[in-house]
Structure formats: structure tokens, C-alpha cells
Structure 1
Amino acid sequence: MSSATKPTMIIPSYEDVLVAHERIQPYIHKTPVLTSTRLNEMTGAELFFKCENLQKAAAFKVRGACNAVFGLTDEAAKIGVATHSSGNHALSLSYAAGRRGIPVTVVMPHTAPQAKKDAVIGYGGKIVECEPSTSSREAVFADVVAQSGADFVHPYNDPRVIAGQATCAKELLEQVNNLDAVIAPIGGGGMISGTCLTLSHVAPDVKIYAAEPLNADDAARSFRAGHIIADDAPNTVADGLKVPLKDLTWHFVSKYVTDIFTCSEEEIVAAMKLVWKTMKIIIEPSSAVAVACILNNPEVFKGKRVGVIITGGNVDLDKLPWMNK
């Protein structure tokens, strides 16, 4: 969907979230919530980690992808689906399409982690490569859709996807009582938008924070400016957070997010390594951004019960960010 055409924006409702959760349950895990005494001591907060790194395809994006794919009519499904993505949405849409037995094509930057490319192929997806910029991926993708007529499942600026991602926060609230805040990484804003959608209806007093790499801080700058500021090709180890906000995700971010914090590349890598060592779970750099931002802002989170959404665990084990340093 091109933002240039300014179509009427469809904002998903909480009823859409309930329908989505019912629809996708056969295809996803209800991921666990883990805690860490060590990280609680370091932050002065009670942290509750919603582990979407243990989700199907090791990413929260399976939720939105499954909702979109299994919500298609049989006629539309036969033509297939397509998207552009740096990785987790690509492999998640491939997973969902594979479960329904329909074609899927994904446009990925040639710099995307090999582990994510391998996962797309493993799930039956077809990859078309592009340059590592938003403008390139959108231009290449336009050609793909023109040729195939496939249903475009946007990585985040899609009401079906946001309703699916909102089921993560829904589960978190069912698993943990009396949260004071929830924090999640922000790139294009799909997870944060879903979190806003759920919390604004079910727990409106819970504060919502977003975490972003300083090297790709367009959401933070947009938040301060009051309008979308889009970077075309930011460079960060958090490869899942390189894309800009769009109109639908901006609606949720501008209306419901309390604040957006940033962290450096060194802080992201240190937080990722800390979670690996302390909690013995594999998280990817994009997930570590939330942990780094909590460590950077102890005054905000101290004494609070905080839900931390760990968004994914897809990493290239041969190219870990702390290697050769």
C-alpha cells in the first residue's frame, strides 16, 4: 500500500485482536514469560520478559503474518502473498504461507542476515534481493506485485498485522498481573502499535515505552517533532529496526506511547550478551535494544513492574556482534 496515494486508513479494533488470537492459535506458541533475579537487581525493577524469541520462526511477527494469511479468502490465497522485509517478517510470512500451502515472495536486502534468508527458503519462500534501503525495497517490491498480483502483507503498516501483533501484549497481561509499564523495540512500529492497541483497551494506565537504536532513531525524532521523519538507510546492528514509521503505526505511536528511548551500538551488543549470559536464552540485537534502554534509564523503571517484549531470536551464530572485537 503506497503512502503516497493516501488511502483511507483502516484502524484495527480490539475486537479484531480477539478474532486474530482465535484465528492464529493453532499456528503459534503462547510464549513464556521469564524473570531474572540478576537483571532485577541491576535495574531496580521487576522485569517480566515476554519471550517471542521462543515463538514459531523465532519472532513475534508470526502472529501478524498468520492473521493476514489465514484471514484471506480461498480465491485470494491461491494467488499468494508477498512482502518486503529485512528478515523476521519475511520468514514469518513464509512460515504462515507454508502452513496454508500458498505461494510467497519476499523482497529482502542483500545484506540481510544469512540465517534469516535460510529460514525464508526453508519455509518455502522465494527471495528477490534489493539494495539495503527503504526506497530500493519498495521499488523492487512494486515490480514483484505488479507481476504476480499477490496480496501485499506489509511488515507493519497493515491492520491485519497490527491486530496479530497485539495478541502478544494480550497474552502478557493474562500471564502477569499489575504491570506498571511495557517496553518493546521500535522500527516500523508494528509491535508497539499492537501493544498500544491492546493496552489502550484493556489496561490504559500501563505506560508504553519504545526502545530504538541511536543509529536508527527516526521514531524518536518523529516523536519529538510530532510528525514522521523517515531515514532511508540507517546503519545499526539491530537489523530488524531499520525501517521507518508509516501512517498507521504513527497513529498508535503518537497517541499512546509515553516516551521513546535510544541506545548506542555498544550498549545494544552489551545488553544482548548480558541476556545470553544471565538468562541463557538467545535473543537478537533488535530485542536487546529494549534491555539496553532500561539499563540506560533506571530512574524511569526503578521500583516498577515492567513487561519487556523480547521480539526475536534469529541470529547468525557465525557472525555474532561481539566476535572479533
Structure 2
Amino acid sequence: MKNYIVRGLAGNKSIRLFAAITTDMVEKARKIHGTTPVATAALGRTMTAASIMGYMLKGEKDKVTLQIRGSNKIKSIVAVADSKGFVKGYISHPHIDVTLNEKGKLDVGGAVGKNGKMIIAKDLGLKEPYVGQSNLITGEIGEDLAAYYMYSEQQPSVVSLGVLLDVDGSVKASGGFIIQPLPDVDEETLIKLEEAIRDIPSTSSMVDEGMTAEEILRAVLKGFDVEIIEKNEIDFVCDCSIDKIEKALISIGEKELRSLIEEDGKAEIKCHFCNKEYLFDKEDLTGLLNEALNNK
């Protein structure tokens, strides 16, 4: 499995664990969107986080949307994942470039900015999705997600997300993990967890060294009984289709459809997530207008 995710337990089943290797998935996104290094890192971290969060969902048709609304050069990053961990994502400014930070690393926090929002929508098959949000803390995404869990869901979490790029800008290593103590965790286990996570190396460096997701969790949780209970392949998968685009066109209403037919005689729709183009000629649009009128 090139891109995959694991689910596990530790601390006598009182801590839940998730880790993902996403190198090829993020490289696929980089090629689709033509991202600069800092945009690749920002999008890659967001997609990795969304994939893990999707995998946490219980219902087969459940979905999660993770949106970063930045306050600096990157205005928006969106990633949507299903309960198997399959994910799609896009970034509003794929070609932005910023200088390296003081540590000589890609300045994702500087590109996103600290004054934005993290918005998480969970579609659990109910009438309305559950939507939670929190303010960005650093713009680095991992710390922001940990803060979201703490403030919006009262769930302490260890979140680590990393994307390492090669000299040519391609993705050399990418991955992440989320560790969450469950409500029945005892004080002793919590103290042990805090000590274990004090000096952990970056996730991308561990992936670059060839460590598996399972090995990363065991390295991070030294001294814990890490039990891996599930493993699943993940990937960048866009579920756009001609049917969905047609429904979207019908939903814009009779007036707008007539305007498209009379003024443009065609419509070109591009999917934000995979950049696939859908072309509709006058005949196609007239058929959709008739359908819209019949649905009244």
C-alpha cells in the first residue's frame, strides 16, 4: 500500500491512534494543482488531516470537510474526505511563493496567517451537517487542528502533520498522526503520554526514513502497548461527475440557464478539486432548462 492509514489503541485501550502515509496522494494533488512548495505543504497537511478525520467517522456514507480560511496570501484550503479516508482537496492560491521562515523551512504559517478560521463540517446523514469552527493559532494547520479539537470538541489531541519536498519541488515524504486519550483514561496514563510526546521527531522525517505508519505510532508512543486494529488504503479521489454538474446547473434556476443559452450558447464548468472540465453546448443547456421547467 503506497498511501494508507492505520487505526490503533494504546494504554489499555484508553488512547485511540491514527496514522497515515500520504506521500503519493499529496504528490498527485501537487501535479493536479501545479502548486508551489509552500502551497504543496499547506494543501498536503490539510488533506492528510482530513483523510484521518474522515477515517474517524462511523457511518459508511459520512463525510468531513476541513476548511482553512487564511488571513494572509493563502485565503482558502478545502479538503473533503469520506469514512474510508479517501480525500480530495484544493487551494485558492496554488502558485503563491513566500520566503522561508527563520528555521529555513517552508513558512506555511506565514502563508496562511494567524487571524483566520478553521471550519469543520461533518455530514453524518442528518438533515443538517454538524459544523464547528475555531480561530487559527499558528496557521501551521497541525497545531490549529489540535486547538480546534480542544476548544470546539473538548477533546485533547496530539496532532502532527508533515510534508517534505525534494529539490525539484515534488513530494518526498508526507504523513501525519492524531492521538486522542479517551474519556476513561487514567491520570497515570495521561502523564506517561505527555512524557512520550515531549520530544518527537517530525512526521515527514520519519516517513522519509522509510518508517511505516505502524512504526511511527510505536516510536512516538515508546513504552506503550500499541495495538493496530485496522489498516486501509487511501488516495486522492474526486467524485465529480457529469450527473452532479448537470444537477448543479439545473439548481441555478431558469433565469440563469436562459441567460447562458442566449448570451453564451455554452457553458464550461471546471471541477475545483481535480480540474476536470465539463463542456455543455446549446443543445445540452436547452435539455437542462426543460428538465428544470419540468421539475417545477
How would you bin the TM-score normalised by the shorter chain? Answer: under 0.3
More strand per residue: 1 or 2?
A: 2
TM-score of the pair, normalised by structure 1: 0.26
TM-score, normalisation: structure 2: 0.28
- Report which of the two structures shows the higher radius of gyration computed on alpha carbons: 2
**Structure (1/2) with the larger helix percentage:** 1
